Structure 1
Amino acid sequence: MKHFLFTALVWLAFFNTANAQQLKSPNGKFVMEFSLQNDGTPTYSLNYKGKAVVKSSKLGLELKNDKKSLLNDFTVIESKTATFDENWKPVWGEVASIRNHYNELAVTLNQKETDRHIVIRFRLFDDGLGFRYEFPSQKNLTYFVIKEERTQFAMTGDHTAFWIPGDYDTQEYDYTTSKLSEIRGLSEKATTANVSQKSFSTTGVQTSLMLKTADGLYINLHEAALINYSCMHLNLDDKNMIFESWLTPDAKGDKGYMQAPNHSPWRTIIVSDDAREILASKMTLNLNEPSKIEDTSWIKPIKYVGVWWEMITGKSSWAYTDEFPTVQLGVSNFSKAKPNGKHGANNANVKKYIDFAAKHGFDAVLVEGWNEGWEDWFGHSKDYVFDFLTPYPDFDVKDLHEYAKSKGIKMIMHHETSGSVRNYERHMDKAYQFMKDNGYDAVKSGYVGSIIENGGNHYNQFMNNHFQYAIEKAADYKIMVNAHEAVRPTGISRTYPNLIGNEAARGTEYQAFGGSKPNHVTVLPFTRLVGGPMDYTPGIFEMDLNKLNPDNNSHVNSTIANQLALYVTMYSPLQMAADTPENYDRFPDAFQFIKDVAVDWSDSKYLEAEPGQYVTVARKAKVTNNWFIGNVNGDTSRTSTVKFDFLEKGKKYVATIYADAKDAHYKTNPQAYTIRKMNVTNKSKLAHLSAPGGGYAISIVETKK
């Protein structure tokens, strides 16, 4: 049910004076104030429980080659207020139903000199504020180019920030924790090497940005519904502690091509004095439109294994041969080439993974490196890299499809574009049809390397339109999408729920490239996951990777118990058991949790949370009604204490606890774990030690005894 009430019915939520207009959240804890400065510059501020969160901050856009930008000289010509309240059901998610409840203020501004109109629309929820710019159809504002968006977020002090460097091409960084005033001095150290990156400022950071004030307020800055617009970063004026939006440019330096009527994405500020409420917020989803896919019955959460980790670690390769110095599709004859003996996507190996998936109840198998071209795919300005249709000689598409089908297993397609997006769009219809013809319902796409627009960036308007085009085109073929190296999500999965996963952050693969900080997974839920689920690819049981590949000396900075907990704390409807089958065979009792844990939920409870330190989550499975708990810990050991009061009153349950052993440590003893069972009710409590880089996972099943 939904309710949309207009001004006369909700006047208590709004307050107007000659100089300012106030908007209150439905619960009254937030107050947003809009006003114009003397020169007609629009500003806003935000308070929470009487405390300032964002001080008076300017709004507006600087235009390119225009006689006057949309920055000042405005007067208010109309203000409209409304309230909205509905409950909607996501196709998949952390909960079965989401409440979308907000009060709204839409201010129409006229720029006197140009007679142009813009609307700034504010929506104030019980968990924060969203606002955007709208450009109505009008004769004096038709086509225009954005030089820069000048949205400000004026902070109230030198807050603690959990940040990664501002970058036009990658989010694959470890997080740095520092004061805002320290970002400039730490920027160079925080910018670690990546295959494609373009930092823009020594005080630039990316959203979703997590902050904590000295008096205990948690603040998250992000955006929602990033459609036909450039990705927003933040640049800090560290003298005045003011963030300003910084859009991703194209190759010419332009930051957005607009045609009215149109609007920007929402700029979001989620706030609470309880860190758990930041994780529970659904505001980002609520600021996106409802699903545009009418029949969603084909969209199904997936738990999968795959031919991937062995390539990431260097045990096997994507490439089929070492004979070709360069590859030209249709010219290079792979049938006559000598195999290199390391190619992972061969029939026998893939069937091994299919057998493993079938034996242990998984849904699907991902195979990378199946198609011709991997010998010459990266590091060149090469337009025609893959055709997404032609397999290597040792990968029989039809035979493997029939074999997987006979075992009840789906196959997941892999499309690596190597940044050549024109080539991908050129082949997309044929590639998606090829998938459907051969039983593939989901695709993992990749955009590794520089965008072959010769100077283009991963996160500019052109590329964001490409990512959106790929999702919508996939929906036409009833294909689910898991996009890697794409722009970080902003809740679009509500509108297109076939977007079942993204990477867009530093995932497990970096544990094979030198490691990630042990507290990395305690930051990601507060940052990257605010916009949508991540294909983090957890489940690594062998931490010393030289046991897979003698030439790889990386160490996975995690305990086995921590890896199990990630299936609960790192929410995704797409979860991979990423390690190789032989490593799971070594630890069958721990592997049982991965087999049991659900991927779709009817309810979620955030039990403990502190960014960079720990996260503890309980989730209720949609089908079985079993509960699962995950706890991940940061650098320092601590005792986690949780109550089971979320369980149904009067019922009895058996909890199986997979936990760090007393001497467990992510570096020195990562495979030390214990498993025990205990009877629990909704009155039970648990105190458990979590090791550095460790944690615990619990499965909870109702018992009739």
Structure 2
Amino acid sequence: MRKVLIFKVLTVLAGVIFLFSGFKATSQSMGLRSKLGSNTITLSLSKNGELHYQVTRRDKIIISDSPLGLNCDDQNFTSGLSVVNVSPIEVRREKYDSKVGSFKTIDHVFERKSITFKNRSGALMIIDLVTGNEGVAFRYRFPDQDKKIRVINNEITGFQIEKNAKGWLQPYNKAGKYTPGYEDFYLKIHPGDSISNPRNPSVGWCMPALFQVNESKNWVLVAESGTDGSYPGCHLQPDSKGGLYKIAFAETDEKYTLPLGENNHPTSSLPWIMPWRVIIVGEQAGDILLSTLITDLAPASKIDDTSWIEPGKATWSWWSHPDDHSPEIYNQFTTLAASFGFSYTLFDAGWEKADKEGGIIAKATSQGVKPMVWGYSAAYFDPEKRKKRFKELAAMGVKGVKIDFWCSDRQEVMACLQSLFEDAAKEHLLVNLHGSTVPRGWHRTWPNFMTAEAVLGTESYFYEPRYPDKAAEQNTVLPFTRNVAGPTDYTPFALTIRKYPRLNTAVHELATAMIYTSGIIHFADSKEVFDSLPVPVRQLLKDMPASWDKTESIVAEPGEQLILSRQKDRLSYIVGINGTNKVVPVKLNLAKYAKGFSKFRVIMEGENPLMSFKTETYPIPSTWQYAFAPKGGFIIQFVNE
């Protein structure tokens, strides 16, 4: 008994010495390896107390030594740091169901560790580390209690990418009439390249940012998760000299019409928990596309009863009738939704007058179609006005809101969005954000957040002369970048030729509805186009789900081709798109995906590839060969008939 007591005393004394004697950490003690040993993040301190980290996968460098640290208005955490404590490793399981995405149920195990540092003044900063099979993440945390508002002047976090890597990055547009809105092309670059020929003047690079590293053996996506009202949405600085991409805050002038102040720096009292910096890693690009790491790290659902939240498909009149806000056109699209079994219809700008004149809300409800309505961000920024408006809309029978023109990543906007999701949930309203920032795991925390724009979608056939030529390529990049961040309102199926004529085939456009994930799929185009479709395509639109139980990546080559297997209940599909202007051979083992089915139906290009479809049904072979049309696509549905 005495020996045990002595041992306990010695253990306590050792802990005290560990905490207060200027503990010198080894790289091993400041590292964290995932359970299977694939991914490791390791922190290190220089002689000057400057903090760096490194990420490896199977001991191969993914992110080489990169800076960490924060410079605050009253304290500096960029140098003079020393280790105070390294916590034990904690194993945590994240299991949850997702209303939106490639998988219904997510079940992942992570290792977590927290390392506490102090600066020369004795102030504390904690860095939380996470590792899992899909990548690593870290975040800053101030544990002290203090009501005084602190300001972060600079975050020096960087991501050091090897100079021989390939990258797919989107310019972060400077503040303007419709920017920033994450609506630029993803450019194929090398680390260190400057921003070239963006759609709008730009001040940096967006996250998520995709790279192929380690002599093309690995893929990595740099992103954020869990951003809330305590921090602005961040992007990457424009200067990546030497391949070092550094964090940048939202710009001061990102205000649009919102009543924002002059300070664009993060502010908060203490304690202060900051967003996760997420580094998704895989051997194949498909590993990136299918990753749920961003939502795994986001807070769990704050809505207890989610039974009222239903993913679905919607008709939408704006794309085909942008200037017609009449009750007749809105009612026409409600009837169209009912005829296809779509759950929703979206009444865009001008709907209020149409409802007063023609009762479009009541007519939608009477046909069993749930109406969603458009709104302007400034009308939903004030908390009391927002709550009142949500109550009014819910009383009218509205089931969701599309709120447009945010054009800002400022901290005040991030805070507003979290409150907006919460206020909408109280009235059982779904949320669709447009002219907005990218999601950051929010659809886990607030499952009523169904989708967001933040994408160069099909409205670009009206506005962007370069879009037709680049659209197919972009459609095979965005699933590995933007859509990994969260649900994407791409507004697929835009067949009518607009100001800038489409070059993608009709099947390619149809396939995008099954390539992107969105809690509500807003289908573009007119009743006339829907009515002209052949019966198998009409049936596909009726059957097609808006969320998936299971997804597998078959071919995943950003900017080239993408083929996915998607399953929902008893529905099973293979969908593919070609991002190039070349004919590309395809060879698939269909038997692997056809269990329980006797035949498969293929939807492919018809006689006029731009506008028509052809469908054929075959017995399931062991191998299926096909030729992707230039900028083309195909959809396979497994059937028993």
Q: 1:421 to 1:434 in 2, by over 3 A?
A: closer
Which residue of the partner structure matches residue 628 of structure 1? Answer: 573
**Counterpart-to-counterpart distance in 2, 1:555 and 1:426:** 45
Q: 1:563 to 1:653 in 2, by over 3 A?
A: farther
Given candidates 470, 483, 506, the residue that maps to 1:529 is 483
Show the 5 A alignment for 1:249-268: 249-251=251-253, 252-268=262-278
1:122-176 Cα shifts (integer Å, max 9, x gaps): 101111011100111246x953111121101111223211111123522111221
**Counterpart-to-counterpart distance in 2, 1:519 and 1:466:** 34
Q: 1:18 to 1:410 in 2, by over 3 A?
A: closer
Contact kept, 8 Å, 1:604 with 1:617, in 2: the verdict is yes
Shift of 1:421: 5.5
Give secondary structure in 1 for the equivalent of 2:549: strand
Shift of 1:425: 4.3
1:280-319 Cα shifts (integer Å, max 9, x gaps): 111111001111100101100020102211244xxxx2xx
1:410 maps to 2:350: no
1:43 maps to 2:52: yes
1:599 maps to 2:608: no
Contact kept, 8 Å, 2:349 with 2:375, in 1: the verdict is no
Which residue of the partner structure matches residue 356 of structure 1? Answer: 336
Which residue of the partner structure matches residue 178 of structure 1? Answer: 189
Task: Tell me the TM-score normalised to structure 2 length.
Answer: 0.88
Letter in 2 for 1:104: R
Given candidates 593, 603, 609, the residue that maps to 2:556 is 609
1:488-522 Cα shifts (integer Å, max 9, x gaps): 10111101000010001211111222352121111
Which residue of the partner structure matches residue 110 of structure 1? Answer: 118
Q: 1:434 to 1:127 in 2, by over 3 A?
A: same
1:149 maps to 2:155: yes
Contact kept, 8 Å, 1:567 with 1:594, in 2: the verdict is no
Contact kept, 8 Å, 1:346 with 1:395, in 2: the verdict is no
Shift of 1:526: 0.9
Listed as ranges, the gaps of 5+ residues in structure 1 are: 1-15, 318-343, 372-390, 449-456, 546-552
Q: 1:403 to 1:421 in 2, by over 3 A?
A: closer
CA RMSD of aligned residues (A): 2.2
Listed as ranges, the gaps of 5+ residues in structure 2 are: 1-23, 175-179, 254-261
Contact kept, 8 Å, 2:594 with 2:638, in 1: the verdict is no
Give secondary structure in 2 for the equivalent of 1:582: helix
Shift of 1:273: 1.6
Contact kept, 8 Å, 2:264 with 2:411, in 1: the verdict is no
Contact kept, 8 Å, 1:514 with 1:555, in 2: the verdict is no
**Counterpart-to-counterpart distance in 2, 1:241 and 1:425:** 42
Which residue of the partner structure matches residue 428 of structure 1? Answer: 386
Q: 1:142 to 1:122 in 2, by over 3 A?
A: farther
Given candidates 295, 300, 306, the residue that maps to 1:290 is 300
Q: 1:420 to 1:61 in 2, by over 3 A?
A: farther
Contact kept, 8 Å, 1:628 with 1:698, in 2: the verdict is yes
Contact kept, 8 Å, 2:476 with 2:561, in 1: the verdict is yes
Which residue of the partner structure matches residue 692 of structure 1? Answer: 630
Shift of 1:471: 1.1
1:648-683 Cα shifts (integer Å, max 9, x gaps): 64x23332111135x87xxxx422532111222xx7
Which residue of the partner structure matches residue 495 of structure 1? Answer: 445
**Counterpart-to-counterpart distance in 1, 2:495 and 2:566:** 23
1:235 maps to 2:237: yes
1:575 maps to 2:521: yes
Contact kept, 8 Å, 1:638 with 1:689, in 2: the verdict is yes
Q: 1:230 to 1:275 in 2, by over 3 A?
A: same
Shift of 1:531: 1.1
**Counterpart-to-counterpart distance in 2, 1:105 and 1:143:** 27
1:658 maps to 2:603: yes
Shift of 1:614: 1.4
Given candidates 256, 261, 280, the residue that maps to 1:270 is 280
**Counterpart-to-counterpart distance in 2, 1:587 and 1:90:** 32
Which residue of the partner structure matches residue 678 of structure 1? Answer: 618
1:562-610 Cα shifts (integer Å, max 9, x gaps): 1121121111221122111111222234343222211122111111101
1:397-432 Cα shifts (integer Å, max 9, x gaps): 773233222322111111123x5654x645322321
Which residue of the partner structure matches residue 31 of structure 2? Answer: 22
1:163-195 Cα shifts (integer Å, max 9, x gaps): 1112352211122112223x31xx241x214xx
Shift of 1:17: 5.8
Which residue of the partner structure matches residue 90 of structure 1? Answer: 98
Which residue of the partner structure matches residue 13 of structure 2? Answer: none
Show the 5 A alignment for 1:119-518: 119-138=126-145, 142-167=148-173, 169-181=180-192, 183-184=193-194, 187-189=195-197, 191-193=198-200, 199-200=202-203, 204-213=204-213, 214-228=215-229, 229-235=231-237, 237-251=239-253, 252-312=262-322, 317=323, 344-371=324-351, 391-392=352-353, 394-396=354-356, 399-417=359-377, 419=378, 422=381, 425=383, 427-447=385-405, 458-514=408-464, 516=467, 517=470, 518=472
Contact kept, 8 Å, 1:539 with 1:576, in 2: the verdict is no
Contact kept, 8 Å, 2:99 with 2:311, in 1: the verdict is no
Q: 1:525 to 1:413 in 2, by over 3 A?
A: same
Shift of 1:638: 0.9
**Counterpart-to-counterpart distance in 1, 2:185 and 2:473:** 9
Letter in 2 for 1:538: P
Larger deviation, residues 126-135 vs 95-104: 95-104
Letter in 2 for 1:660: E
Shift of 1:216: 2.8
Contact kept, 8 Å, 1:284 with 1:490, in 2: the verdict is yes
Contact kept, 8 Å, 2:312 with 2:545, in 1: the verdict is no
Q: 1:171 to 1:280 in 2, by over 3 A?
A: same
Q: How many residues are treated as equivalent by the alignment?
A: 595
Shift of 1:645: 5.0
% identical equivalent positions = 24
Contact kept, 8 Å, 1:250 with 1:462, in 2: the verdict is no
Contact kept, 8 Å, 1:61 with 1:146, in 2: the verdict is yes
Q: 1:293 to 1:52 in 2, by over 3 A?
A: same
Task: Tell me the TM-score normalised to structure 1 length.
Answer: 0.81
